[in-house]
Structure 1
Amino acid sequence: MTAEWGEKSTADLMSRYVSKEMGYGVPEEGWRICLAHEFKEKRQPYQSGDVSLSYIWEHIGLGLRYIKWWYKKTRVEKKAPFIDMFRPLPLQQIYGVPLGGIGGGTITRGWRGDFCRWQLNPGMYHYTTVTANQFTVCLRRGGQTVYQQVLSVERPSTLQGWNWGFCGEYAFYHALYPRAWTVYHLPGQNVTLTCRQISPVIPHDYQDSSLPVAVFVWDVENKNDYDLEVSIMFTVVNGSGDKSDKSGGHWNEPFHLEKEGEAVSGVLLHHCTTVNPYTLCIAAREQPDREVSHQTAFSPKGTCSDLWSDLITDGRLDSPAGSSPPTSKGETVAAALAEGCSVGAQGRNTLEFCLAWDMPKITFGSGEREHIRRYTRFFGTNSDASPSLSHYALTHYKQWEQSIEEWQRPILQNSALPSWYKSALFNELYFVTDGGTVWTELAEDADISGGIRSEDGGLPAQPAVIKEYGRFAYLEGQEYRMYNTYDVHFYASFALIMLWPKIALSIQYDIAGSVIQQDTTERVHLMSGQCSYVNTKNVVPHDIGDPDDEPWERVNAYLIHDTADWKDLNLKFVLQVYRDFHLTQDTQYLQDMWPICKVVMESELKFDLDGDGLIENSGFADQTYDGWTVTGPSAYCGGLWLASLCVMCKMARLLDNEESYQYYRDILDRGSAAFDKLLWNGKYYNYDSSGGDHSNSVMSDQCAGHWFLKASGLGEGDYQAFPKEKMLTTLKSIFDLNVMSFAGGQMGAVNGMRPEGVPDRSSIQSDEVWTGVVYGLAATMIHEGMWDEGMRTAEGCYRTVWERCGMAFQTPEAYSEKGCFRSLAYMRPLSIWAMQLALNTSQTTPAASAGDINESRDGV
C-alpha cells in the first residue's frame, strides 16, 4: 500500500531521519513535521457559493429566518451565535497538542512553538497568537554569552530587540497526545534541545487528569568538547491575547513554595477580570545545580531590549522582589522566568518548567449560576492554587509519563498496527480536553431530574456516579457551540467509555434527567418556521445547552430543527445504555436507565405509522444528517431502531422482565422482516424506501446499528437483527463504491454514493466525508473481519486531514473531495476509539494482540 500514498513515503522518510539524527527520547510513532514545512493544499470553509442554486432556493425560508435570528443574537443580545454561518473559522495550519488536563480550560501551543488557541472561559474560544509567549535559549562559555535565540521561526513586527527567525529546517515537532516533543538543532553550536511537553491526561485517572497544568522538560545535549552554561527563558503575557488583557487591574508577583522537601519558584500573573478571573503561573523546580531567576513584570510592547540584555549579560534575570502595580486600562504586562544549568562536554542535562492556570469558579454566558471546577476538589476554591498546582506538576510529571507510557505501550509496540493508526488513535484524543470541555462538581442543591419522581422513585436526585465524579460537558465542535450534542456523542462516546467510563456514565445520567423533564417555552425553529417546545418530555434532547447561556439548566441550544421529531436520538440513548453496561457491568446503572429506555422507546414507536414494526422518516432531515432528507423506512434510522429493539430484549432478559422481552421481541421480528423487504436490494440496504431519484444511494453509515450491536457483544445469535452474510455484502459494497470509487480510494468514505459510482449530490452532506463516520465504519469492518478494508478506509481520512490539509488538532466534521471543509475541531472523530475496541474484541485480525485498554482501576 505504501507506493499508493504519495504523502506517506515523505512522512516516513522524515520520521526515520529525525529518529536517527534529532532529539532525545522522541518516540518513533506519532505525527511529525519540520518547522519549515508549508502545506501546499489550502482549503476553505464552506460558504453559500459552494451549494447549488436549487438548494439555496429550496431553503430560502431557512436563510431568511437565520438572518433575522443572527441579527437579534449578535446585535441586540450581544451574544455569539451557536453556529455562525456568516463567519466560519478559516483554516490555520498551525495547531499542536493542547496544554492542560480535562475540564479546566486549555491553551494550545502550535507546532511552530506559538501559543495560539485559548479556551479559559468555559466553551468559548479565541484564536490569537500571543507573540511574547516564547522560550528563549542562552548559551554561555567561559563567562561569555555565545548564542541567544528566541526558539521561534516567526519574525514579528514587535519585540524587535529580540533575536527572532530561528531556521525551521533545523527543528522538528512530534506529537503523540497527550505529549509533544520539539527538537531544535542550534545552528553552528553543536547543541540539541528537546522540549518535551506533558499534560496529565491519563485513562481511568479522575484526579490528576483534571488539573489545569502542563510541564515543559528541556533536555539539553552538548556535543562539544567543552562545557557550556545553558539557560532557558520562558516569557508569558498576563492574559490570552483578547481584549481583557488591556482592561486594567492585572498584576504579577513572584512566589516561592517549599514543601515535602521540594521547592518551586516563579511568577504569578493575576488576571483580574470581573467575570471568571484567573491566575496564570510560570514556575521552575529549584535544585542545587540549577539557578532560577525571574523578571516580575515587563511590557510586551516596543523593542523590549532591556529584558533581552538582562538575560544576555549573565544568563539570568535580575529577580526583583515585590509585586508589580496593577495595569492601567490599555496596558498589558508580561513576566519572565529563566532557569540555567551547566552541561558538561559531550554531556546532557535537564531544565523543567510548569505552566498552570487557576480559574476555580466559573460562570457561563448567562451569569446565573456559579460552577466549581473538578480540580478544586483536590486544590481548593480560593483562587490561590497556582503555586501548589505547579509544585504538584513538577514533582509528579514523571509518574504521569510512566502511566501514559504503560497505557500506550501495548498499542505502540504492536507491529501489526500501522504507524498512521497509532498516531491517529492517540492524537485525535485532543478533543477530550480541547472540545470546550468543562468538568464541574455537582452543586449541593442540584437535582438532575428536576425534582420529578415517579411512584417507584425514578432517577435519584444526585446519582452516585455524578456525585463522586462530577458533571462533564464537551462541545459538538469549536464552531458548533452546543454541549454534549447527543447524536454526535453517539460516535465520540467510545473514547470516554473506554478511557474514562465514569465520565461516560455521568453524561448518561444527565441526559436521562433531561428526558423526564420538559421546557414548554415555545420558539420558532429555523428550518420549518413553526413553533414548538424547547424540550419535550420523554424525548432525548439534542444537546444540554450553549456555554454562552446556562448549560444543564436550558437544554437544546440547537434550534434549526425541532429535534423532538428526530428519529435517531432516542435510539442512540438506548444503544449507549447497553453498550456502557456491557463494558462496565454496572448493574445499578442498568437498573436506573431501564425505565428511561422504555419511555424513549415508546416515544419512538409513534414513528411506526403503519404498524409494521419499522419506524419511518418524515421526508425532512430528521436525524444527525440534518441537511440530507430521508423519507419512509431508511437504512440508517431503521437499522438503529432494530438494533435498539435487540438491546431492549437483552436488557429485559437481564432484568428478568419476560413481559417486556416478549413485547420488544414481537416488534423486532416484524420490523426485521419489513426492513429486509423494503430496503434490501441484494447488495446493500437502500438509503430509504421512498422510490425517489436517490432512494437507492449507498449510505456509508447504514450499518451504524449493527456496529453498536457488535461493540456490545451482540453480533450473533438471539439478538441479531442483521444477517451476517448481508452485512458482509453491504460492507463490501460500501468499500467498493463509497471508498475505492471516491477520490481514488485515498480520502475515506463519502457519505452517499450512487450505485453507478458517482457521489450522491442531492444534498450538501451526501457528498461530504465525515471523519467520525468513517472511523465508525472502519470499526464495523474490523468487527466483521475485514481488517484490510477497515484500515484502508480510515487511513484515507488520516492522510487527508493530518498530512495533506494541515488540519492537525482541529479535525473537521466534514470535507469534500476538493477545496472545502466544514466545522473545524469536531467531536465525532473521537470514534476512532471504536476501532480500538473492535481490535480488542476481534480474534480474526492481525491486531488481536493490541493492548487491552479496558484494564483499569475502576473495573472497566
Structure 2
Amino acid sequence: MTEWGEKSTTDLMSKYVAKESGYGVPKEGWRICLAHEFKEKRTPFQAKDVSLSHIFEHVGLGIRYLKWWYKKTQVEKKAPFIDMFGAQPLRQIYGVPLGGIGGGTITRGWKGDFCRWQLNPGMYTYKTVTVNQFTVCLRRNGQTLYQQVLSVERPPTLQGWNWGYCGEYAFYHALYPRAWSVYHLPGQNVTLTCRQVSPVLPHDYKDSSLPVAIFVWDIENKNDYDLDISIMFTVANGSGHKSDKCGGHWNEPFHLEKDGEAVSGVLLHHCPAVNPYTLSVAAREQAHREVSYQTAFSPKGTCISLWTDLITDGRLNSPTGSSPPTSKGEKLAAALAVGCSVPAQGHKSLEFCLAWDMPKIMFGSRERQHARRYTRYFGIEGDACPSLSHYALTHYKQWEKSIEEWQNPVLQDCSLPSWYKSALFNELYFVTDGGTVWTELPEDADVSGGLRSEDGGLPAQPDVMKEYGRFAYLEGQEYRMYNTYDVHFYASFALIMLWPKLAMSLQYDIAGSVVQEDLTERLHLMSGRYSLVKAKNVVPHDIGDPDDEPWQRVNAYLIHDTADWKDLNLKFVLQVYRDFHLTQDRQYLQDMWPICKAVMESEQKFDLDGDGLIENSGYADQTYDGWTVTGPSAYCGGLWLASLCVMCKMATLLDNDESYKYFKDLLDRGSAAYEKRLWNGKYYNYDGSGRSHSNSVMSDQCAGQWFLRASGLGEGEFKAFPVDKIRSALKAVYDLNVMSFADGQMGAVNGMRPEGVPDRSSVQSDEVWIGVVYGLAATMIHEGMRSEGLRTAEGCYRTAWERLGMAFQTPEAYCEKGIYRSLAYMRPLSIWAMQLALSSAHDSPTAAAAGDVCVQGRF
C-alpha cells in the first residue's frame, strides 16, 4: 500500500457505475466515469511564465524568435515547428486513438467524441466533429421504446436528435490498443459495451500498419422479453479541418464479398488538393443481423429526417447510387445502422469498422510522394477501404487474441501494481499517435546520399529498410520535429522491445544522415549566430519537419546549433549497442561500427583539456536545452563514459584490438577525471564549474549507467562507474528530488538543491520530465531499488493521468503548480525501459514476455 493508496480502477466513477461492469471489461487499465470533472485546470507554459531572473538572458532569443515566427506564419504561411504563441490548451477529453502504426490516427475521447485527427502526416486537427456519434434504438413488438445519442453533450446543432445521455450511468476503460465504453441505459434494463480494437501488435509488421479500427457492441438484455436493438454510426466526410468546406467531396455505398464473408457500408471520398483520402464505415453481413445505411445527409440544422428514419423502424432507407459532389462551403455525412433481435436475458454483438485510405502522402513542401507501408498489401490506388474493412472485420478476433497473449503476462503478475500495468500499455498510444509515418523506402533511395565514411559505409538500401520501410514519429504533437534524437534516446525502448525492425530502420536513417552535410548557413535563435544546417560526422537533432520535407532536409530545430551538443553522438553509440544486445543482429553491428567511430571522433574534440572527459560549453548544449551547463557534467560526462564502455565492448566483439586499446585508455582516464571532478561523497554534481548551482542534484545524472545496465553491461571489464557510488547517487535523488519534492507525490524534479528546495536557476531545472522519471525508475530497478523506482514513477502517472486529466496526451513536463509544457510527447515511452529493467532484475519469463525481450536474436 502506497501513501496514495492502491487505487482501484473504479476510483473515478460514480457509486452507481462502480457496482456494475460491462461485458468483458478487464480489471486493469485507466477507468473514468463519463460524468467526471477534473478539478485542477492547468495552463501551458508561455513566455509570461519565465521568471524575472531569466528574462534578461532570453531577451535576444525572444526577439529573434518573434521575427522568425512572423516570417514563418505571415509570409511563408507555414506552421512553426514550435509555436510559442499557440500552445494547445489542456482539454481533458482524450481517449485511445484509432488505427495502426503510420497510417494516420483518429482519437475518440473518453466521452465518446471524435476529437483529434492526424490524417495529414504529422499535422493535427483538434476539432470535435459533432455528427460523429453512435446512437442506440430499442424496439419491442414493432414500437420504438428508446432512442438516444450515446453522448453526454448537448450541442447547438442537430437539435432533432436526443442528446444529453446521463454520464453517471456510463464509464470508459482504456488499455491500449483497446478501449471499452460501457453504457447502462436508464430504465431500460439494457447494458451496451462498445469495445474498440486497433491492430497494434508487437512484432507484427503487416496488420500493425493498417489504418482501421473495429467497434464491437456487446448488448446485454436483462429484461424478461425480447428486444430489437439497432446501433447507428454517423460519420462526417472530413475531420473538422477547413478542407471539409472546399467542395468536391462525395459518398457512395459499397458491398464486398470475399472468401465467403460479405461486408457493406459507405465510402466517404474526401478530395482536397493535397493528400486526398477515403473514409469508410462498414459492417459484416451475418445471419440475423440487418445492415442499412444513409449514403449522404447534411450535418446541419436539426437533421430530424435521419433521426425519424431510424426511429420509425430501427433501420435506414439504404438508397442506391452515389451522392453528388459537394459545393464549396457544403458539408456531408453518412450513416450506417446494424440491428438484431436480442432475446430475454440474452446477449448479442454487433460490429462496425472505421477505415481510412490515404495511400500516397506529401509533406508540407509538396516535393515528392511517399507510399504508406500498408499499401504493400492493399494497393496504392486509393480504393482500399472496402478491402481494409473486409480484412479488419474478419481478422479482429485474431488481433485480440494476439493482444491478450502479449499483455496477459503483465496483467496477471500480482507483484506489479495496477497503476503500472495501466501506464505501461496506455503510454504506447504515442507510437501511433505521435504524428507517426511509416512509408516504403523509395526504389532510388540511398540512405546516406551516396556518401560513405572513411572506414566503410552503409549499404545504399539496408535490408531492414527494404523489407520494413522507413519510420518516423514526432518529438511531440506540439514540438513538430521527426525522430528528435535526444528524446528518442528515452522513447526508443518501446520500439526496440516491441517493433525492433522499426527501431533499426530508424537507426539506419540516422546513421546515413551522419555522414551527410548541409553547408547552408542559417541563424540560430539562441546564440544569434549563423552556422551550418548540418555538419558532417555528427548526429542530427531530428530528420525534419512534416510541414517541410523530412529525410531530405534534417534539423528543423534551429534554436541551438546542435552540432555542438554533447549528447547526440553519444546517444547514437549507446543505442547501437543496446539494440545489438537485444537483437543479436551482427550485420547491424558491423554496419554501424564505422559510423560509431566517426561520431566518437567528432565528440572527442569536446575534451578540451585532454583528460579523457568531455566538457560542456557554458550554454544549454544537450537535451536540457534551457538549462546551461559548464565544464564536465554528470549527465553528458556520464553518457561519454558509457559510450566509451560500449565502444570497448563492440571493438571486442569485432576483434578490433587497436580500437579496444584506444577507447579503453580514454575510458580509464575519463573515469578517473569524472570521479575527481564531480563526485562529492554522496552524488555527482550537476557540473564542475564551481558556480553557485553546480552542486545541484540532477535526477538524470545516472543516465549513462542506465544504458549500460539495459545493455547487459555496467560491471566487470565493461564498467564505467563504481556501483556503490551509483547507488549512493540514486539514493540522494530519491531522498531529495522525489521525496522532498511535492510531498513525494509527483515524481522526480529535474534539479534539486542539496538543502532540499528545487533548483530554480533555469526554466527546466524545476520541471518534472515524465520520460526522464520513467528512465530514472528503470535505473533504480536495475540497481536493486525496485520499490523506490516504482514509487518514483507512480507519482508521474498519478499526477498526469488521474489528477490533471492528461490521458493520451502525456506532456513533456509539468511544474509543482500551475503549468505544463508540450502535450502529447515522445519521451514517456521510456516506461518500457522499466519493463526491461524488471525483466532483467528478476530474470522473469513473465516480465520478459511483455516485451518479448531476448538476447538470443529471437527477433
TM-score, normalised relative to structure 2: 0.99
Q: Which amino acid aligns with 1:702?
A: Q
Q: Deviations over 1:743-802 (max 9, x none)?
A: 000000000000000000000100000000000000000001101100000000000000
Query: Which SS does the other structure have where 2:217 is aligned?
Result: strand
Match of 2:309 in 1: 310
Match of 1:401 in 2: 400
Q: Deviations over 1:278-318 (max 9, x none)?
A: 00000000001100000000000000000000000000000
Match of 2:790 in 1: 791
The separation in 1 between residues aligned to 2:489 and 2:851, in whole angstroms, is: 22
Q: Structure 1 residue 280 and structure 2 residue 282: aligned?
A: no
How has the CA–CA distance of structure 1 residues 856 and 412 changed in structure 2, closer, same or farther, with 3 Å as cutoff? farther
Q: Structure 1 residue 837 and structure 2 residue 836: aligned?
A: yes
Query: Which SS does the other structure have where 1:24 is aligned?
Result: coil
- Aligned 8 A contact 2:12 2:31 in 1: no
How has the CA–CA distance of structure 1 residues 455 and 49 changed in structure 2, closer, same or farther, with 3 Å as cutoff? closer
Query: Which SS does the other structure have where 1:719 is aligned?
Result: coil
Match of 1:770 in 2: 769
- Aligned 8 A contact 2:371 2:440 in 1: yes
Q: Structure 1 residue 463 and structure 2 residue 459: aligned?
A: no
The separation in 1 between residues aligned to 2:276 and 2:540, in whole angstroms, is: 32
Q: Identity of counterpart residues, as a percentage?
A: 83
The separation in 1 between residues aligned to 2:393 and 2:17, in whole angstroms, is: 28
Q: Which moved more, 1:50-59 or 1:363-372?
A: 50-59
How has the CA–CA distance of structure 1 residues 412 and 7 changed in structure 2, closer, same or farther, with 3 Å as cutoff? closer
Q: Which amino acid aligns with 2:586?
A: T
Give the CA deviation at 1:56. 1.1
Match of 1:98 in 2: 97
Q: Deviations over 1:642-683 (max 9, x none)?
A: 000000000000000000000000000000000000000010
Q: Deviations over 1:390-449 (max 9, x none)?
A: 000000000000000000000000000000000000000000000000000000111101
Give the CA deviation at 1:558. 0.1
The separation in 2 between residues aligned to 1:354 and 1:287, in whole angstroms, is: 14
Give the CA deviation at 1:855. 6.1
Match of 1:201 in 2: 200
Q: Structure 1 residue 682 and structure 2 residue 681: aligned?
A: yes
Q: Structure 1 residue 58 and structure 2 residue 40: aligned?
A: no
The separation in 1 between residues aligned to 2:425 and 2:748, in whole angstroms, is: 21
- Aligned 8 A contact 2:409 2:846 in 1: no
The separation in 2 between residues aligned to 1:710 and 1:341, in whole angstroms, is: 56
Query: Which SS does the other structure have where 1:606 is aligned?
Result: helix
Match of 1:143 in 2: 142
The 5 A counterparts of 1:450-849 are: 450-453=449-452, 457-843=456-842
Give the CA deviation at 1:379. 0.2
Q: Which amino acid aligns with 1:566?
A: W
- Aligned 8 A contact 1:7 1:799 in 2: no
Q: Which amino acid aligns with 2:669?
A: R
The 5 A counterparts of 1:60-79 are: 60-79=59-78
- Aligned 8 A contact 2:135 2:231 in 1: yes
- Aligned 8 A contact 1:269 1:335 in 2: yes
Unaligned residue ranges in structure 2 (runs of 5+): none
- Aligned 8 A contact 1:19 1:26 in 2: no
Give the CA deviation at 1:54. 2.4
Query: Which SS does the other structure have where 2:467 is aligned?
Result: helix
Q: Which amino acid aligns with 2:668?
A: D
The separation in 1 between residues aligned to 2:104 and 2:856, in whole angstroms, is: 26
- Aligned 8 A contact 1:416 1:847 in 2: no
The separation in 1 between residues aligned to 2:74 and 2:856, in whole angstroms, is: 51
How has the CA–CA distance of structure 1 residues 310 and 215 changed in structure 2, closer, same or farther, with 3 Å as cutoff? same
Match of 2:211 in 1: 212
Give the CA deviation at 1:14. 4.7
Q: Which amino acid aligns with 1:766?
A: S
The 5 A counterparts of 1:324-339 are: 324-339=323-338
**Would you say how many aligned residue pairs link Structure 1 and Structure 2?**
859
Give the CA deviation at 1:126. 1.1
Query: Which SS does the other structure have where 1:172 is aligned?
Result: strand
The separation in 2 between residues aligned to 1:688 and 1:386, in whole angstroms, is: 56
Q: Structure 1 residue 238 and structure 2 residue 261: aligned?
A: no
Q: Deviations over 1:781-833 (max 9, x none)?
A: 00011011000000000000000000000000000000100000000000000
- Aligned 8 A contact 2:101 2:209 in 1: yes
Q: Which amino acid aligns with 2:585?
A: D
How has the CA–CA distance of structure 1 residues 848 and 125 changed in structure 2, closer, same or farther, with 3 Å as cutoff? closer
Give the CA deviation at 1:854. 2.3
Match of 1:125 in 2: 124
- Aligned 8 A contact 2:781 2:834 in 1: yes
Query: Which SS does the other structure have where 2:180 is aligned?
Result: strand
- Aligned 8 A contact 1:810 1:826 in 2: yes
- Aligned 8 A contact 2:230 2:315 in 1: yes
The 5 A counterparts of 1:150-165 are: 150-165=149-164
The separation in 1 between residues aligned to 2:641 and 2:821, in whole angstroms, is: 31
Q: Which amino acid aligns with 1:616?
A: E
How has the CA–CA distance of structure 1 residues 285 and 844 changed in structure 2, closer, same or farther, with 3 Å as cutoff? closer
Give the CA deviation at 1:326. 0.2
The separation in 2 between residues aligned to 1:68 and 1:7, in whole angstroms, is: 50
How has the CA–CA distance of structure 1 residues 414 and 7 changed in structure 2, closer, same or farther, with 3 Å as cutoff? closer
How has the CA–CA distance of structure 1 residues 845 and 256 changed in structure 2, closer, same or farther, with 3 Å as cutoff? closer
The separation in 1 between residues aligned to 2:13 and 2:254, in whole angstroms, is: 43
Match of 1:300 in 2: 299
The separation in 2 between residues aligned to 1:247 and 1:859, in whole angstroms, is: 50
How has the CA–CA distance of structure 1 residues 707 and 673 changed in structure 2, closer, same or farther, with 3 Å as cutoff? same
Q: Which amino acid aligns with 1:203?
A: P
Give the CA deviation at 1:48. 1.7
Q: Which amino acid aligns with 1:108?
A: T
How has the CA–CA distance of structure 1 residues 637 and 255 changed in structure 2, closer, same or farther, with 3 Å as cutoff? same
- Aligned 8 A contact 1:15 1:32 in 2: no
- Aligned 8 A contact 1:295 1:336 in 2: yes
The separation in 1 between residues aligned to 2:423 and 2:848, in whole angstroms, is: 19
Q: Which amino acid aligns with 1:617?
A: N
Match of 1:113 in 2: 112
- Aligned 8 A contact 1:840 1:851 in 2: no
Match of 1:21 in 2: 20
Give the CA deviation at 1:7. 9.1
The separation in 2 between residues aligned to 1:455 and 1:732, in whole angstroms, is: 45
Give the CA deviation at 1:843. 2.3
The 5 A counterparts of 1:429-468 are: 429-453=428-452, 457-468=456-467
- Aligned 8 A contact 1:785 1:845 in 2: no
- Aligned 8 A contact 1:116 1:129 in 2: yes
Q: Which amino acid aligns with 1:765?
A: Q
Give the CA deviation at 1:851. 4.7
Query: Which SS does the other structure have where 1:245 is aligned?
Result: helix
The separation in 1 between residues aligned to 2:351 and 2:847, in whole angstroms, is: 39
Match of 1:167 in 2: 166
How has the CA–CA distance of structure 1 residues 17 and 709 changed in structure 2, closer, same or farther, with 3 Å as cutoff? farther
Give the CA deviation at 1:850. 6.7
The separation in 1 between residues aligned to 2:802 and 2:19, in whole angstroms, is: 22
Query: Which SS does the other structure have where 2:220 is aligned?
Result: strand
How has the CA–CA distance of structure 1 residues 512 and 558 changed in structure 2, closer, same or farther, with 3 Å as cutoff? same
- Aligned 8 A contact 1:172 1:184 in 2: yes
Match of 1:34 in 2: 33
- Aligned 8 A contact 2:615 2:633 in 1: yes
Query: Which SS does the other structure have where 2:7 is aligned?
Result: helix
Query: Which SS does the other structure have where 2:842 is aligned?
Result: coil
Q: Which amino acid aligns with 1:121?
A: N
- Aligned 8 A contact 1:438 1:474 in 2: yes
The separation in 1 between residues aligned to 2:419 and 2:714, in whole angstroms, is: 28
Q: Structure 1 residue 348 and structure 2 residue 379: aligned?
A: no
- Aligned 8 A contact 1:417 1:847 in 2: no
TM-score, normalised relative to structure 1: 0.98
